[in-house]
Structure 1
Amino acid sequence: MTTIYFDLDGTLTNPKAGITRSIQYALERLGHEVPTEDELIWCIGPPLHASLAKILGSDNLADQALLLYRERFSDIGIFENEAYPGIKDTLATLAASDRRMFVATSKPAVYAERIIDHFGLRTYFERVFGSELDGARTDKGELLQYALQETKVDPKRAIMIGDRSHDMIGARRNAMTAIGVLYGYGNREELMSAGAHHVCAAHRDLLDHAR
């Protein structure tokens, strides 16, 4: 039986407004130039601290920015989000075939759990795997290794579905099948160059590959 691990941001939900506005809030508080929401799209998906460090040019400033980001995100930004239209139907179809399904996201688990519950997605997943607020397991490869160990799943019978390169790289590092989706924030070139075995334009297309 195949086991499926789903990314959250850009795969199950569209978090653009909440993430980009919370980054803007943090940068403004630090007196830094504030890019537009569209200019911050590249920050959606990868570990946030690394993206903030790239923007600010300093790990110390990134530490401060991350705390400010969470100040807004934990109460407001977390729900400036929406489940992709029809995603519940796709998940229900996959779940009906008795697959084991999990969420595996670089987002802190404390936020991911609330988002999954808020959008009524809990029923489809056995467990939500995320990073820790101290930065542990933000690397997708480490997160998936931990998730595979915790669930006692053979990686050769496991699939990782995500929209960014780090999802594909993490899957490949763990000998999993890597499936990229194009309705999120990564493009075909990014996903294929990162090792995607398949790329799906729409989440319904996953039904042809997540077997």
Structure 2
Amino acid sequence: MYKAILFDLDGTLTDSGEGITKSVQYALEKVGKPEPDLQKLRIFVGPPLLEQFQEYAGIDEETARKAVEIYRERYAPVGIYENELYLGIPEMLSGLKQRGYKLAIASSKPENFVKIVAEYFHIDSYFDEMVGSEPEGRRTNKTEVIEETLKRLGFSEHRDQVIMVGDKEHDVFGARRAGLECIAVSYGYGTEEELKNAHPFKIVNSAEEILDFFA
């Protein structure tokens, strides 16, 4: 019997691709690794930025940290608002709260940005906790974020009562390493092949299907 549900943010609750990819493009240009095709940068939605910059651009950690700083120069004032809720998200969250579930956001995004986004879309009141990464790149690993979320919710010793909802394989793998099952949403930024290969507990296609799962 599940009592708590952890949600990823980007690609699960909000379609944040435009703001993230444009901010990544801005940063790559500044570090001498320009990428004109925004579609190629969709892989940056969700995973920790530092690792993604290193892997995608073939740059060292120091340059990647600089890229993250430059990314935030654009993302904080502009990119964070190039974003929209997926269809049915407020209704789904409201329904889950009415049924008595504890809800939390567990995101690799910096925690201050997580809270800004949730407040901007007026969904912050549905969540008992909103957890993200810390400054200077600490707690960006998905499992570490989940562990902190479980601690704050008081469910560290009751993992069988908690489930994760996310859109990428790193959500599924991060949850699994923390001892949780994960529901994957097909409408986010994970490909069909990626999600099937990750073997989530279930794949759903809409916010309505998330709510139905917990009926």
Contact between 1:169 and 1:195, CA under 8 Å: does it hold in 2? no
Corresponding residue number in structure 1 for 2:112: 110
**Deviation at residue 113 of structure 1 after TM alignment:** 0.5
Corresponding residue number in structure 1 for 2:77: 75
Contact between 1:159 and 1:210, CA under 8 Å: does it hold in 2? no
Q: Which amino acid aligns with 1:51?
A: Q
Q: Which amino acid aligns with 1:60?
A: E
C-alpha RMSD over aligned residues? 1.3
Corresponding residue number in structure 1 for 2:198: 194
Q: Distance in 1 between matches of 2:130 and 2:3?
A: 17
Q: How does 1:199-210 map to 2 (within 5 A)?
A: 199-210=203-214
1:39 maps to 2:53: no
Corresponding residue number in structure 2 for 1:131: 133
- 2:130 is paired with a residue whose SS is strand
**Deviation at residue 208 of structure 1 after TM alignment:** 2.8
Contact between 2:16 and 2:84, CA under 8 Å: does it hold in 1? yes
Corresponding residue number in structure 2 for 1:167: 171
Corresponding residue number in structure 2 for 1:141: 143
Corresponding residue number in structure 2 for 1:91: 93
In the alignment of these two chains, the number of paired residues is 211
TM-score by length of 2: 0.94
**Deviation at residue 146 of structure 1 after TM alignment:** 1.6
**Deviation at residue 166 of structure 1 after TM alignment:** 0.8
TM-score by length of 1: 0.96
Contact between 1:172 and 1:195, CA under 8 Å: does it hold in 2? no
- 2:208 is paired with a residue whose SS is helix
* Unaligned stretches of 5+ residues in structure 1: none
Contact between 2:80 and 2:117, CA under 8 Å: does it hold in 1? yes
Q: Distance in 1 between matches of 2:173 and 2:205?
A: 19
Q: Distance in 2 between matches of 1:49 and 1:108?
A: 12
* Unaligned stretches of 5+ residues in structure 2: none
CA displacement, residues 23-75 of structure 1 (integer Å, 9 cap, x when unaligned): 11111122322231111111111111111111221222211111100111011
Corresponding residue number in structure 2 for 1:11: 12
Q: Distance in 2 between matches of 1:210 and 1:13?
A: 20
- 2:26 is paired with a residue whose SS is helix
Q: Distance in 1 between matches of 2:185 and 2:64?
A: 29
Q: Distance in 2 between matches of 1:210 and 1:38?
A: 34
Contact between 1:4 and 1:210, CA under 8 Å: does it hold in 2? no
- 1:128 is paired with a residue whose SS is strand
Identity %: 38
**Deviation at residue 3 of structure 1 after TM alignment:** 0.3
Q: 1:182 aligns with which of 170, 179, 186?
A: 186
Contact between 1:4 and 1:102, CA under 8 Å: does it hold in 2? yes
- 1:68 is paired with a residue whose SS is helix
CA displacement, residues 92-135 of structure 1 (integer Å, 9 cap, x when unaligned): 11111011000000000011110000000011101100001211
1:54 maps to 2:55: yes
